[in-house]
Structures are given as structure tokens and as C-alpha cells.
Amino acid sequence: MKALQPVHAVLVGITALCVLVSGALGGPLDTRIQTLVTNSRVSTANVAVSAIDLDTGSEIASYNGRRSMIPASNMKILTSGAALLVLGDSFAFRTEFDVIRGESGTVLVIRGAGDPALGDPAIFVDEEQTLTHDALFDAIASALKERGITVIDSVVVDDRVFDREWAHPSWPADQLNRWYCAEVGGLNFQTNVLNVYPIPGSPGSAPYVETQPELPWLRVAVRAKSISKGRDSAWVARPTPANDFTLYGNVRGRTEIPVAIHEPPTYAGEVIALALDQRGIRVGGDDVRDAVRMARFDEEFEGAETVAVVSTPIADVMRRTNTKSHNLYAECLFKRVGHEVTGDPGSWENGASVMRLLLSEHLGADAAQDTVIADGSGMSRENRVSAETLTSWLRVLSKQDGWDTYIGSFASPGEGTLRSRFIDDAPSGDLRAKSGYLNGVYALSGVIEHESGRRVAFSVILNNVKAGSGSRYAKPLIDDIVHMLDEWVSGQRTGYGG
């Protein structure tokens, strides 16, 4: 039996313990980073910084590290990490083309998997395997013809892997026609944008318009004029929840304007139906659109024969999510995670629920409770996450088998969203990072790995940055913090900066 100690001795012991714990919580770079932030030109903004040793978890720096912040596209760090944990690094999105032959005719069922890369040639650019639309459509048409199918009576788009809430309710309503606010569907095509190409005529006249894809039923109303001098200001509006487009502004040269389309699964089904019809497979009657419909939620397809599959590895999707910061790709990962765990159509609601469960499981209940999850891309200003949660999340993922795939999807200096950063002043260590930007919000989180093998996970988030100060002062502050961490990592190898 333990001997009882005097009350005052116990209290002294507790006090000493508190002192020791308090001292242990301070990072070696806390003071230097606080000074850097205080002396910066964005000191009136809210700034949060967290840096930890990726292997030991020990804190290197924390400045408002637990403050909940709007993360902008740093939300993609959570989303792509959840995809790695739930789907695994060997997962692939599979869009299936099935045929049902019956007395009432031949039905083509397009089973969407939520693949954001279908019909997006940019996904293969880095691998020099550009998959053009023609090649895609030729392959599907050939697969049908090989099975003796030259007539399709109807096309059913089975998009039920996701729900049919196309745009998040908290996305900016005045930007829903922009490519970065593209609607999200269980079947997507060409990142759910229509490319509009204004071509100037004689000065003062209405410009010509071309589109890609070229669809005979699609019209772009022209409210723009051609100019020979001055600034090209052409833009395309889609103000209604329908695929009605209007060109505005001045057109001086041929430019490409990507504009988000409405109801992606139906649009994709119509584009594919037209492409097959043009390749000798008769689809429906005079207008292929009349043959296309979306699946009913209680509908089953018996006797279906798979004739073609288009597959996209998750590594390609994650790279476009994080290096290029493509919002549609992130949202498709987010909803697919929700579907995978619940079995219900993926949605922003069940995607957020799964994310909270993962945070609670891996980081604890407090991290889950303090994180507000609205969407997967960070377009919503309702998201909230702390810098400390992001660095802790990176540490969790660093212990997973798919870590190389995950961190390899982040940008290096000179590529993607870091194409103009850390070029002339590259860190001595290997930097992989994800940037983030919304009006008044700047962020950068990632990992620095030194040749010694020492690794640091960091997160820097700025909120309420005044207009005009961002590019001039916010990014330089973030970059200075990254360089400070890089010097510290390097110094640990040589005995400096401990």
C-alpha cells in the first residue's frame, strides 16, 4: 500500500508537472515565427501555423495552430486523404457501358462511377497518353459493333452512384457558370464544361462562335462585339439552371472560354449518344436527345452485358486534385467516399459524415468536433479546419501504405499551383505542398523532406487578408515560413537550429 503524502507535496508535484508539460508544448521555432508574422505587412490578418516532425510527431512550431480557419483548397488535403484511407491506392473509377437486348429493342446503359476524368484529355498529358474524344468514342463504337449492335433504341444514364444535388448550396451563386464551380454528377464528361471559342469578325460586328463539343442543338446567344483594338473581355453566362449560354464582352481574338454546364449526367449521355450515332450506330429517332434519360432510383437492369469499360486510376485523379487543385476531381472523391462507406448515393452530407468519422478515429473526437466540413474542394467558405489538424492528418497518412501515391499528388516547385513559386529560391529539402486561395484566404500545407531523411509537415493559413495585400504580402510571408522550416530541417542535420 502506498504511503500517503502531505497535500502540499502533491500540489507542488502537480505544479512542477504543469511547468514541464507547458515547456514541452513549445516548439523551437515558435518565437521566430511569431516575430515573422508580427513584423509582416499582413499582421492584421488571422494567421495560423503548425509544423511537426512527421516521424515523431513532436511540435516544431505552433502559432494559433488550433484556431479554426477557412482552408480554401487545403480542404483537398483532407478529401484526398480520406479517399486514400477508404478507397485505397489501387482503386480505379470504372465507367461501364452495358447493353440490354429485349423485345422492345436494344438499351445502352451507361453506369457512371463518379469519374471526374471521363472525357478529360488533360488527365493523361503528363503521361503523354492523350486520350482524345475521338479515340474514346471510336473504342466504344467498335466494342458495340463487334457484338453486332448497330441500332440503339434508348440510352439510360445510371448516375445513381451520386445524388443529384449538382452544386453545393454554399458555392457563390454568381460563379456557378465558371469551370471551377462545375456541377458534380455520377456521370461526368470533359470536366462538365463546354468550351466556347469566340472568333472576331469585322470591327463592330457580332463575333462568330464555335463550341467543343460541337452539338447541333446547342446555341450560344451573342451579345458581344468584335474589336480590333483594346482589351479582349469576352465571357459566357449561364444564368438559368439549364444549358442556355450567352456571350458578352469584346472579342479581339480567338480565345477559349470554359463554361460550366447544367445536369452533367444527361449532358454526358447526350454527347455520347450523338458520338455513337455519328459513328454508324443509330441512336433513337431524328433527335438522339429524345433517346436519352436518367435512371429511376428504383430501376434495375437485368440481363445487362458489359461491352466496354473506361477506367481511371485513383493516382491520376488525386494528382489532378492536388497538383492542379481541380475542384470537380475533389468533389468526386468526396462523394465517392460517402457512397463507398454508406452504400447510398454519394452526397455532400454522407461525404462529410465519413470525413468526421475518419478524423475522430485517427485524430480524436476534438479534432472532428472542431472541423466544419461543407464540401470536398474548399470552394465553400463554410469549411473550417485548424493548421494543427492538417499537419496531424498528414502524419496519419504518412503511415499508410499509399503514402507515396498521396504525397506524390502534391505539387513540387515549378508545377501546378506552385508553377511560379520557389523557383529561384527553392528549399534545400524536397518540398511537396498544396496551396489554397479564396478572396481573403491564402494557405499552403505540405511536407519538406531533407536528404538526411528528416521530414516536417507544415500548414500555414491566412484569413481576412485585405484586398490587394495577398499576392504582395501574404504569399511572401507563407514562403518565408517555409524557408525558415527548411533551414531548421537542414540545421538539424548539421547541429544548427535545435
Q: What is the pLDDT of residue 213?
A: 94
DSSP string, 342-401: HSSPB-HHHHHHHHHHHHHHHH-HHHHHH-B-S-SSS-STT-BB-HHHHHHHHHHHHTST
Do 76 and 116 lie in one domain? The reply is: no
Note whether 457 and 323 are same-domain residues.
yes
Same-domain pairing of 325 and 435: yes
Q: How far apart are CA 275 and CA 273, in angstroms?
A: 5
- The more confidently predicted of residues 335 and 468 is 335
Query: Confidence band (pLDDT; 50, 70, 90) for 497?
Result: very low
Shared domain check, 277 and 181: yes
Q: What is the pLDDT of residue 104?
A: 83
322 and 465 part of one domain: yes
Euclidean distance between CA atoms 196 and 409, whole angstroms: 30
| Structure confidence at residue 25 (pLDDT) | 47
In a domain, residue 12? The reply is no
Q: Which residue has the cell 485523379?
A: 317
Residue 9 lies in a domain: no
Contact 69, 389 (CB under 8 A): no
pLDDT of amino acid 90: 97
Same domain, 276 and 397: no
Q: Are 183 and 323 in contact (CB under 8 A)?
A: no
In a domain, residue 352? The reply is: yes
Q: Are residues 475 and 452 in the same domain?
A: yes
Whether the per-residue pLDDT at 16 is higher than 50: the answer is no
Give the pLDDT of residue 127.
46
**Which residues touch 26 (CB under 8 Å, ≥6 apart)?**
59
In the block, cell 502533491 appears at: 10
Confidence (pLDDT) at 6: 36
469 vs 141: which has the higher pLDDT: 141
| Segment 135-194, tens digit of pLDDT | 999 999 999 999 999 999 999 999 999 999 999 999 999 999 999 999 999 999 999 999
User: Is the separation of the CB atoms in 221 and 247 below 8 Å?
Assistant: yes
Residue 462: CB partners within 8 Å, gap ≥ 6?
A: 42, 45, 46, 47, 48, 441, 442, 443, 474, 477, 478
Residue 21 domain-assigned? no
Which stretch of DSSP H or E encloses residue 250? strand 245-251
When comparing pLDDT for 115 and 130, which is higher? Answer: 115
- Lowest mean pLDDT of 17-21, 81-85, 92-96, 245-249, name the range: 17-21
Please indicate, yes or no, whether residues 120 and 37 belong to a single structural domain of this protein.
no
List the grid coordinates of 302: 437485368
3-state helix, strand, coil in the chain (%, to 5): 35, 25, 40
- The string of pLDDT tens digits covering residues 252-282 is 999 999 999 999 999 999 999 999 999 999 9
Q: Residue 22: inside a domain, yes or no? A: no
Residues of the chain with pLDDT > 70, as a percent, come to 92
Same domain, yes or no: 239 and 356: no
CATH number at residue 360: 3.40.710.10
> Is the pLDDT score of 15 beyond 50?
no
User: Please, what's the b/e burial string for 424-450 (b: 16 or more CB within 10 A of its CB; e: otherwise)?
Assistant: eeebebbbbbbbbbbebbbbbbbbbbb
**17 within some domain:** no
Tell me the per-residue pLDDT of 279-306, one tens digit each, with 9 for 90 and over.
Answer: 999 999 999 999 999 999 999 998 899 9
| Residue in 361, 366, 411, 408 with CA at minimum distance from that of residue 385 | 366
User: Tell me, what's the pLDDT at 145?
Assistant: 97
Considering the domain boundaries, does residue 10 fall inside one? no
- Phi, psi (degrees; rounded to nearest 5) at 117: -95, -5
The pLDDT, as a whole number, for residue 466 is: 92
Domain assignment of residue 487, given as a range: 27-88+316-494
Average pLDDT value for the chain: 91
Instruction: From 481, 426, 480, 437, select the one nearest 459 (Cα to Cα).
Output: 481
Calculate the dihedral angle through the C-alpha atoms of 353, 354, 357, 359, rounding to the nearest 10 degrees.
-110
Strands 257-260 and 193-199: antiparallel
Same domain, yes or no, for 343 and 490? yes
Domain boundary among 315, 339, 371: 315
Least confident of 99-108, 128-137, 213-222, 363-372: 128-137
The count of structural domains within the chain is 2
pTM strictly above 0.75: yes
Q: Which residues contact 422 (CB under 8 A, 6 or more apart)?
A: 413, 414, 431, 479, 482
Asked which of 106-115, 129-138, 151-160 is least confident by mean pLDDT, the reply is 129-138
Q: Are residues 157 and 187 in the same domain?
A: yes
**Last residue within a domain, chosen from 255, 290, 315:** 315
**Predicted local distance difference test score (pLDDT) of residue 468:** 83
- Higher-scoring residue by pLDDT: 182, 132: 182
The residue among 315, 332, 354 that closes a domain is 315
The answer for residues whose C-beta is within 8 angstroms of residue 33's C-beta and 6 or more apart is 49, 61, 63, 481, 484
Residue 9: is its pLDDT beyond 80? Answer: no
Q: Rounded to whole angstroms, how far apart are CA atoms 195 and 214? A: 9
The arithmetic mean of pLDDT across residues 456-462, rounded, is: 98
Query: Given strand 46-53, what is the order of strands in its sheet?
Result: 59-63, 46-53, 455-463, 441-449, 430-438
What is the secondary structure of 302-337 as a DSSP string?
TT-EEEEEEEEEHHHHHHHHHTS--HHHHHHHHHHH
Where residue 125 falls among pLDDT bands split at 50, 70, 90?
Answer: low
Longest dimension (CA), the chain: 100
**Cβ distance 73 to 434 under 8 Å?**
yes
Q: Which of 266, 275, 209 is nearest to 243 (CA)?
A: 266
- Better pLDDT: 374 or 43: 374
CA distances from 411 to 36, 318, 320 (A): 25, 11, 10
Residue 457 resides in a domain: yes
Instruction: Specify whether 288 is located in the same domain as 321.
Output: no
Reported confidence tier of residue 122, pLDDT bands at 50, 70, 90: confident
